[in-house]
Amino acid sequence: MRDKVVVKWGGGLITEKNQLCTVDRDIIRSLVGTIITCHGNDLDVILVHGAGSFGHLRAKQWRLNEGKIDPSNFIADDFCSTQEQAVKLVRKDMLTLNSIIMEELTRADISAAVLSPHKWVNGTGESFQGDLTFFAGAPEGIVMVTYGDVVDCDEPLQFGILSGDDLVTRLAIEVPNVKRLVFAIGGVDGILRCPPDRASEDDLIEIWSPDIEFEGEHKSDIDVTGGIGLKAARGAKVAQNGIEVMMVSGQHPQRVADACIGVATRGTKVVYNVK
């Protein structure tokens, strides 16, 4: 069986985060090229993408990350009048975003299969329930794709938001032969010592472990999941299992490709313990 890499394309990278359901096709096309590089280097790819403006804005408005809550908290808008309708709409929007990615993979002659989490996952966070064996059993050269989604949860929650960061954690650890996990992120070169608007080139943390503090930016007014802090924490857990973890700027496809094939590049290597 060939070695595998698990790659997360951040939602803030592949969409315009503040503009509802707006995709950045040029970035997606350049990232598709990095998958071709992986295949050329005998690596299979498990691709997980984030939600960006196809998920977070409506999920935030309808508080889908909190599960079912008292309907009196909400005012109907032109698109939905209940949380249940918002669940359906966000799932539909995520299918739209995913279909654009699948289309770009197909354009590049890459065979891919998608497993939408709302069809196979119950629960949120890293202990979600779901069968990962389909990812393990994919034939050579077939990209298995999944993404952050609205998933069913047990009562009393009924539904919740599963982040792609939780999916990559479980996939990297539990699917056999995964050598690396790469987070391609938007706007930053990796984990910075201070928020991006104050950071200089020298503020990139090249090797990060959980004992190193940083002031990560998390746009909690937009995001319903955990931002760079969640990626860092999940990454450390994956690294603890002997898997290489890198965070790189997705705006530089060469860095994404290099990180995937194990060539040193600008970004943050996440380790469990530096000692």
Count residues near ligand IP8 (CB under 6 A): 17
Pairing of strands 178-185, 244-249: parallel
CB 40 within 8 A of CB 260: no
Interface pattern 167-206 for ligand IP8 (x via CB under 6 A): ----------------------------------------
Task: Tell whether residue 90 is a contact of ligand IP8 (CB under 6 A).
Answer: yes
Q: Contact region for ligand IP8 (CB under 6 A) — 107-115, 157-165, 184-192, 196-204?
A: 157-165
Token pair 């508080």 in the structure block, residue? 63
Locate all alpha helices (DSSP H) within the chain, ordered by sequence.
11-14, 25-40, 56-61, 83-107, 117-120, 133-136, 164-174, 227-240, 253-261
Nearer to ligand IP8 among residue 186 and residue 203 (C-beta): 186
Q: Contact region for ligand IP8 (CB under 6 A) — 49-57, 152-160, 233-241, 253-261?
A: 49-57
What is residue 142's DSSP assignment?
P
Q: Contact region for ligand IP8 (CB under 6 A) — 47-55, 186-194, 195-203, 233-241?
A: 47-55
Among 163, 169, 249, 251, interactor with ligand IP8 by CB under 6 A = 163
Task: Tell whether residue 161 is a contact of ligand IP8 (CB under 6 A).
Answer: yes
At 44, is the secondary structure helix, strand, or coil? strand
Among 126, 149, 152, 203, interactor with ligand IP8 by CB under 6 A = 149
CB 4 within 8 A of CB 48: no
- For residue 97, report the phi and psi dihedrals to the nearest 5 degrees: -60, -45
Task: Tell whether residue 247 is a contact of ligand IP8 (CB under 6 A).
Answer: no
Q: What is the dihedral of CA 8, 144, 260, 108, to 10 degrees?
A: -100
Residues that bind ligand IP8 (CB under 6 A): 11, 50-51, 55-56, 59, 90, 94, 148-150, 161, 163-165, 224-225
